[in-house]
Chains A and B, each alone.
Chain A
Amino acid sequence: MNGPAAPAVKRTGIMLSATRYWPTEIWKSPWSLPRYRAGAAWLAGILLGICAVGAAAGELSAWGGRLLALLESTGLPAYATAWIWLLFKLACVIGVIVANGLWAVWWERKISAHMQSRFGPMYAGGFHGWAQTIFDTIKLLLKEDVTPAAADRVMHALAPVIAIAPCVMAFAPVLFGTDLAAANLDIGVLYVFAFAGVSVIGVVMAGWASGNKYSLLGGLRAAAQIVSYELPRGFSVVPVLMFAGSLDLAVIDRAQAGYWLGFLPRWFIFYPVVGQLSFLFFLIASVAETNRTPFDIPEAESELVAGFHTEFSGMKWSLFFLTEYGYVLLSSFLLAVFFLGGGAAPLPGLGFIPSWIWMTGKAMLMMFVFLWFRWTFPRLRVDQLMDFNWKFLLPWCFANIGLAGLILYLLGTR
């Protein structure tokens, strides 16, 4: 053998890893860290601040009434007043949907980050990256709008519009607080479900017109899924409609006012068995309707790249996302109205906080559930999804309707 063995490398001094953060410390007692305590204090402060502002402002529906009275006092002809008022309400609803897009994306990023031991956006805007989605929107506006050569140009451009238009229209009768809605419809529930079902046409069009096989598969999956889950979604709220005796969202909202035994709110979710079952069914069907995990089959990124919106970019793409978050918001408000008492306070004595704060708070709670699902569950397979719908969800929805009928019969109220 030629020559001695090479000496082993002796490493001394501080390596990078010596100073790097290891999660072992934090795991032992997170609350001992000042950062955790400060964060909790901030959150509590923000929530209390919102409640205080709400209490000071009062009911938004009252402000709306005052605004309308002001408009009528200007002496404009009646039809002009009606049109201005209509446009104002439309602007408000569209504003809510767009602002919701900004808010929900930021919130989802923050929630997912904290679930995954990350921070999420922290720089844009200064405070916890609050301006991140605003800058993202600017980026999306400036992005090149690419239409693939194989695409059907007209259909490709039309698809996002057809997806989002019904979403905006479905918001018309949605209550944002007691008596706070753009339109007062006595068939509100039917109207919302009818329009929410139209968006699927846009999704199928997007899949078909992209000229991409993955998009096509995604679009077809979406059609099958959304059309199937319409049924349990509609039937799961039938018990609520039976108890409330109306399709009018405002009536359903008012039917849940008051308390049992002086403290338990008369919300539908607290109706024994029937209420919880229909809440669960409606929640599951809503998650499926909005194409979110565990039912995000149409855009399953590990299988179909991005499904029906693979070939969309810029604002066309973001319209699809606006639609998705719009429907999440719609479902959240519907859940709040149907099951969580709408604008009613959860405990007696909290009535000084106006109904729109309660309504929005409950809707945000439900939206959190949507986001929570997404970052927790794996994805079902497309045939398992269908089996779950037709063999489990729908039969149990019918059983639940039967149960509700039985209870009403025994109580003798109908």
Chain B
Amino acid sequence: METDRLIASEPGPELESDTMFINMGPQHPSTHGVLRLGLTLSGEVIKRAAPDVGYLHRGTEKLMETRSWSQCVVLTDRWDYCSAMTSNLAFSLAVEKLLGAEAPPRAQALRVIMCELNRIASHLIFLGTYGIDIGALTPFLYAFREREMILDLYERCCGARLTYNYIRPGGVAADVDEGWIAKCREFLEYLKPRLDEYDALLSFNPIFLARTRDIGLISAETAVHWGLSGPNLRGSGVAYDVRKAEPYCGYENYDFEVPVGRTGSCWDRYFCRVQEMRQSARIVAAALASLPPGELRTKAVPRVVKPAAGEAYAHVEASRGDLGILAVSDGGAAPFRVHVKAPCFINLAILQEILVGKKVADVVAVMGSIDIVLGEVDR
């Protein structure tokens, strides 16, 4: 029935011809992981697109029920592995809410710095892989060169480069020293001209514009109806950002703008992310300037976390959207239930509507602009 509706929504009469079904993924170079898209084609035009998820399902929500609260942070790293800090943060905030605790000021500032650096790193991956989707191979290497510096900063601070386990209930795991701060400033200084370079190389490239400007349009209304969040929502012109709407970790103290798009095209979503990198760099610079001294972990969170029975919901603006954690405790050492409102999973669903009527070449342009990480989609 759903199929019929999607096919019936195709405008205008056309010639009767056979359709062809092709499997895009789970082993396709541009499905960004193990997403499978079942495409029904008429020539090169898509009649129906059915995303099929679950190839990377590891059952982390269930696994959490057998681990202690602090061990669960490790599992959050594995959701959105391009932006693990924000997942750490969302879970830690939920646990802190359950305990009624709050991280000390220095830890709050470090969380902001790390999350914003991670947003830059994550959007750099998006920029590089989106370039590859459209056929520009070179920006990918440039983006990874810059991301490598962020990973070096992470390694120097917490020892890990991908799955950090850095932000924990009650604070953060490790402190930064003066050398780290100097390196970080050096990186921000270096990043700004590079972002302008990407604009010249990719953002305003006429071919890139032709491929993305009028493609994959999502109106603000549709975006809200499908529950999009993050840059995908803001690309459609809805200025919703959890950092502004419900500030956490002291985001209300930093001066930054929420970039929004105009038409909700692929290019708008792309450029929202590019602008967000600039804003994130601004936040990091401000946070480094006003980094307060003090404790890293609050005494209110004990070594063995045993929150009283109850539930708490915390959500943060992760790199890919509004990441929410519902944590339920029955008073034991392990969570009773943890539910993840994963932005990638929800953003992905809109593909079945906006891909219909597009060409095969547009599939990668649209799918890339939604920017999914399968680790978070399947969890």
Contacts and interface: CB of A to CB of B under 8 A. Distances in A.
Interface string A374-399: 11111111111000000000000000
A378 B159 CA distance: 37
B44 A382 contact: yes
Contact of B207 (A8, A22, A379, A383): A379
Nearest to B135: A379
Contacts of A24: 149, 186-187, 189-190
B173 A9 contact: yes
A378 B297 contact: no
Contacts of A377: 135-136, 205, 207
B361 A3 contact: no
A120 to B, nearest CB: 12
A288 B135 CA distance: 15
B6 interface: no
B225 interface: no
A116 B142 contact: yes
The bracket for how many chain A residues form the interface is: 35 or more
Interface in B339-377: 359-364
A303 B361 CA distance: 6
B199 to A, nearest CB: 14
A116 B140 CA distance: 9
Contacts of B173: 8-9
A203 to B, nearest CB: 17
B198 to A, nearest CB: 13
A378 B211 contact: yes
B190 A378 contact: no
Nearest to A113: B141
Contact of A2 (B134, B189, B304): B304
B221 interface: no
Contacts of B186: 22, 24
A22 B152 CA distance: 9
A302 B20 contact: no
Nearest to A115: B138
Interface stretch (B22-30, B58-66, B257-265): B22-30
B152 A20 contact: yes
Contacts of A22: 149, 152, 186
Given A117-B141, A379-B207, A383-B359, A4 B131 contact: no
A379 B359 CA distance: 14
B205 A381 contact: no
A17 B153 contact: yes
A378 B134 contact: yes
Q: Chain A contact residues: over half helix, strand or loop, or mixed?
A: loop
Interface residues of B, number: 59
B175 A8 contact: yes
Interface string B143-171: 00100010011011111000000000011
A24 B131 CA distance: 23
A213 to B, nearest CB: 5
Interface string B162-204: 0000000011111100000000001101100000000001100
A8 B171 contact: yes
Nearest to B107: A8
Contact of B28 (A4, A15, A305): A305
Nearest to A10: B175
Given A17-B156, A378-B205, A6 B297 contact: yes
Contact of A8 (B211, B296, B302): B296
Contacts of B152: 17, 20, 22
B299 interface: yes
A414 interface: no
Nearest to A3: B303
Contacts of B159: 11, 15
A17 B155 contact: yes
Contacts of A5: 170-171, 297-299, 301-303
Nearest to A24: B190
A118 B186 CA distance: 22
B132 A302 contact: yes
B11 to A, nearest CB: 17
A312 B315 CA distance: 49
A220 to B, nearest CB: 9
Interface stretch (A131-139, A293-301, A336-344): A293-301
Interface in B22-48: 22, 28-30, 44
B29 A301 contact: yes
A379 B135 CA distance: 5
9 contacts: A3-B303, A17-B152, A17-B155, A24-B186, A24-B187, A116-B141, A376-B201, A377-B207, A378-B211
